[in-house]
Structure formats: structure tokens, C-alpha cells
Chain A
């Protein structure tokens, strides 16, 4: 699939969405990633700021258990070695609640955290331009943040299309090259 370096704003649905529900563009390259603190389990929270100092990959996805999300997350799970190679932290974010995340992560043996953007529903997704108001879920959107929390790459995929991992890997590699240059 096409994974352009610039955010894709052309993904209009074939039917007219209700007013105010048109797809939003994801936050663009160069913007500061909005801070958030979301639950990863019923009694644990993860703050974005606590992860910085390393690249962070945010994977917004519509729903636990759905077929496309499951294929997408299974692929990212299989690529855990690659994320480690880039010293990157990958996080899944959906509007499902933590109990649902726990059951899902256990069933699929996911080795990265799933965060719950549950209350107020989808608030973080909205701030990233990654909320699908028509579905009432997070959109399928990817963000690669540099170690300082600036958006280095973003992409919003049509809801039914698994965006794969090529765009994320290219963005992480570009960050690695940039870092080498800065230190070289």
C-alpha cells in the first residue's frame, strides 16, 4: 500500500459523511506530539513524556478483536525485534477499555502495551487527528515520534486497509540516520 511521507488528506469516504464527521488529517510532521496519560491496565497508566528519549511509535486502531486490526497488530508483534533494533517503543491505542485490552493482548500474546483511550472516549485520538467520528472509534493511523516527541512521520490509512509496517520502518531508519549525523 501507499505510505507517503506526508499526511494523506485525500482519504474521503465514497459516501457523504454527516456534517462535522468528515475524516480529519493526522497531526503533521514537525508538530509536537500532544502529551497524554492513558491506562494500560486498570491500575497502571502510561504517560507519553515518560517514554521520550527514544523513538515512539503510536498505532491508533479501531477495535480489539476486529479482523483487520488483528492482522495489523500480529504483524507488529512479529516485528518486535525490529522495534528493539531501533530502540523504539511501540504502543497500540484504541477506545476499548482496559479489561478488553487485557483479554485481547493475552489471547494474541501481544508483546507491546495497549492503551485505553476510553474516558473521555477517544480524546487522545481526537487530539492527534486520528478519530473516526462516524464509527465512534480511533481511526487507523500511525505516528512515529522522535526521541524529543516531535512527529517525524504520520499516516492515516482507510479504515479497512492494513497499513503494513514499511512506512514505520522507513521513518525509524530516517531517525537513526539523522541521529548519526547529529553525533557524527
Chain B
């Protein structure tokens, strides 16, 4: 079973409780249609597990297949610079595959970001190295395509669908709780 080789740190984009019993890491590509479908499943999963779940997103743009994946990832990072990573993340998955620079600037405008700064930085791909770092960390963890999901560090082998995913998260939560109980006084 492949394991996550790059631990989750403060550098990661994450939402949910930092004290959650389960950390779900997605390696995703904004232009990937399977990630687009998984997006809705993951939203439901986040709703369902709320305080028990921390969700982390890392970039795995397969630019050979998805030529707009990199600029979309850059858009998310630039929104992140203005404190709005997750809003842009959600917007991108809901607007696949409309990721031409002017379309991305449009989303930035809708989110109330500084559009001029955003558009200027978008072209220069300011976060290219960080995105590549995410990508290589994924490769080292055995990510071979998207979406790839890790639950408490272990690669989730099933389809990114509600029932199998919820089951795997419940199992991980159960294991974590059992571990916590066993070390409690």
C-alpha cells in the first residue's frame, strides 16, 4: 500500500479541524473531469464528517493531458495569496474547463480579489515551483493519476464515491479513536 511521503504541514492548504482524527489529502488536477466529479463527493464527505475531518488539497496538474491545469492551479495559489484559496478552488471545480486567463480573471473579480495584480501574476506563473513541489511529492508517494486520495497517510484504493470513501474514513476514524483510548490513562 502506497503511503504519503510528504507529511501535512502548515504549508498545505487545509480546511476542517486541525485536531480532526482523519486527514484526507487529495492530489488533484483542476482540469481533470474525474476530479470534477470527485469534488462534489468530497464536499459531501466534508459535510458528513465535519469535526472529524481535515481536508488537504495538493496540486497534481497533468499538463501533458490537461494544458490548462497549471494555470488553474496558479489561479488557486494566487487567490490563496489574498486569503481566498478555497473559494477559488471551489470555483474552479464548478467551472471546468473554462480556464482561459480572462475567465480566471473573471472568477478573481467575482471573489473580490485585486484583479490587476492577479492577472499580472497569472501569466508569470509565480507559484510554478511550489506547484511542481506538490507534484513531485505526489509522484514520490506513488500518485499515478488524479484524483489520488490519502486517508491518514494511506492511499485510498477505491473509487472516489460516497459509500466506499465514507467507509474508509470511518475505519480510519475508528482506528484513531482506538489508538487514542489505548494511550489514555
Contacts and interface: CB of A to CB of B under 8 A. Distances in A.
A79 B136 CA distance: 9
Contacts of A74: 62, 64-65
Interface string B63-79: 11100000000000000
B2 A166 contact: yes
A169 B141 CA distance: 11
A166 B141 contact: yes
* Centre residue among A1, A79, A169 by max chain B CB count within 10 A: A1
Contacts of A169: 139-140
A41 interface: no
B108 interface: no
Given A71-B144, A164-B144, A78 B64 contact: yes
B139 A166 contact: yes
A163 interface: yes
B144 A109 contact: no
Contacts of A77: 64
Q: Report the interface size class on chain B.
A: 10 to 19
Interface in B1-21: 1-2
Contact of B2 (A2, A70, A82, A109): A2
Nearest to A79: B139
Nearest to A167: B142
Given A74-B65, A78-B64, A166 B155 contact: no
B146 to A, nearest CB: 10
A154 interface: no
Interface in A95-114: 108-109
Interface in B135-180: 136, 139-145, 155
A82 B140 CA distance: 12
B2 A75 contact: no
B140 A162 contact: no
Interface residues of A, number: 20
Contacts, number: 47
A77 B66 CA distance: 13
A109 B67 CA distance: 12
B142 A164 contact: yes
A1 B62 contact: no
A108 B140 contact: no
A22 interface: no
B140 A163 contact: no
A89 B139 CA distance: 19
A82 B65 CA distance: 18
Given A77-B64, A109-B64, A72 B1 contact: no
B144 A1 contact: yes
A78 B144 contact: no
B142 A1 contact: yes
Interface string A131-171: 00000000000000000000000000000001111100100
A168 B141 CA distance: 12
Contacts of A163: 144
Given A2-B1, A3-B142, A75-B64, 9 more contacts: A74-B64, A75-B145, A78-B63, A82-B136, A164-B2, A164-B139, A164-B144, A166-B140, A169-B139
Interface of A: 1-3, 70-72, 74-75, 77-79, 82, 108-109, 162-166, 169
Closest 10 CB pairs of A and B: A164-B144, A162-B144, A74-B64, A166-B142, A164-B142, A78-B64, A71-B145, A77-B64, A165-B139, A74-B65
